[in-house]
Amino acid sequence: MISHRQGNAQRIAALDERAEALHLKRGMGIADARAMHSSIDVVEADPEADRRLLESLADWCDRYTPLVALDAADGLFLDVTGCTHLFGGERSMLDDILSRFFHQGFDVRAGLAATPGAAWAAARFASDRIVPGGEEEALLAPLPLAALRIEPDIRASLESVGLRTAGAVMAAPRAPLARRFGVSLLLRLDQALGRLDEAVSPRLPVAPLSVERHLAEPIMLTDEIERLVKMLATTLKADLERRGEGARRLALLLFRVDGAVSRIAVGTSRPLREPLLIQKLFHERLAALEQDIDAGYGFDLVRLSVLSAAAFDMQQADLAGETRDDGADIALFADRIRARLGDSAVLKPVAVESHLPERAVAMLPYAEAPQRVSAPKQPDKIQDTRPVVRPERPIRLFRSPEPIEVPATEMPEGPPLNFRWRRALYRVARAEGPERIAPEWWREAAGQEDAPTRDYFRIEDSDGRRYWLYRQGLYGASQAAPRWFMHGVFA
Q: Is the pTM of this model over 0.75?
A: no
Query: DSSP characters for 107-128?
Result: ----EE-SSHHHHHHHHHHSTT
The phi and psi torsions of 217 (rounded to 5 degrees) equal -115, 120
Q: Residue 451: which residues within 8 A CB-CB, separation 6 or more?
A: 356, 439, 472
CB 291 within 8 A of CB 248: no
Residue 252, Cβ density class (10 Å: 0-12 exposed, 13-18 middle, ≥19 buried): buried
> For residues 120 and 277, what is the distance between their CA atoms, to the nearest angstrom?
45
Cis peptide before 482 (omega within 30 of 0): no
| Of 311, 241, 307, 316, residue with least CA distance to 270 | 311
* Residues linked to residue 44 through DSSP beta bridges, in sequence order: 3
Q: State the pLDDT at residue 412.
A: 67
Terminal Cα distance for the chain, rounded: 72
Q: Residue 273: which residues within 8 A CB-CB, separation 6 or more?
A: 233, 236, 237, 240, 241, 245, 246, 247, 312
Number of residues written out for the chain:
491
- The stretches in the chain having pLDDT less than 50 are none
Residue 70, Cβ density class (10 Å: 0-12 exposed, 13-18 middle, ≥19 buried): middle
CB 276 within 8 A of CB 208: no
> For residues 415 and 424, what is the distance between their CA atoms, to the nearest angstrom?
18
> For residues 308 and 233, what is the distance between their CA atoms, to the nearest angstrom?
15
